[in-house]
Amino acid sequence: MNTSPILLMAPLYPPTQQELESRWTVRRLFEAADADALLDELAADCRVVVTTGGRGIDAGAMARLPKLALVACFGVGVDAIDVDYCKAHGIAVTNTPDVLTEDVADLALALLLATLRRIPAGDRFVREGRWLKGSMPLTQSLQGRKV
């Protein structure tokens, strides 16, 4: 195990976090009773911050970690990371581009079909027993359409 501490800003997917913790000394800022005290404690040694796209890290926190060399973001976006500060201080920033591209496309098609075919309304129609009193109106089809 590498004893150089890594600052974890937010929880990760459990298997990913477990793997990280099996190889490194991980300090969890999101669980710290006193975040300022933890940052002070890590100031002398912390070279890596691991965060998420939603949590990020601001310039104030990074300034308290003078040896910081890497901000690893488990997410597509880096909007919550002060990238300008990182550039000015030679801190590398990584993210996971395109990790959700196919999943977003799948969901978009699923929502398109659910809307067009009125799947949620059909589900309610059956669950509420309305099918016993009559049929549900017909829905539209994707047949002949470009997607």
The enclosing domain of 16 has a CATH number of 3.40.50.720
28 and 82 co-located in one domain: yes
C-beta of residue 59 within 8 angstroms of C-beta of residue 33 = no
The model carries a pTM of 0.76
68 and 105 co-located in one domain: no
Nearest C-alpha neighbor of 96 from the set 83, 77, 69, 70: 77
Structural domain containing residue 79: 2-94
Tell me the Ramachandran region of residue 144: left when phi exceeds 0, alpha when psi lies from -120 to 50, beta otherwise: left
Q: How far apart are CA 93 and CA 57, in angstroms?
A: 11
The predicted-structure confidence for 23-59, as pLDDT tens digits, reads as follows 999 999 999 999 999 999 999 999 999 999 999 999 9
Looking at the structure of the chain, the number of domains it has is 2
43 and 85 co-located in one domain: yes
The confidence band for 2, taking pLDDT boundaries of 50, 70 and 90, is confident
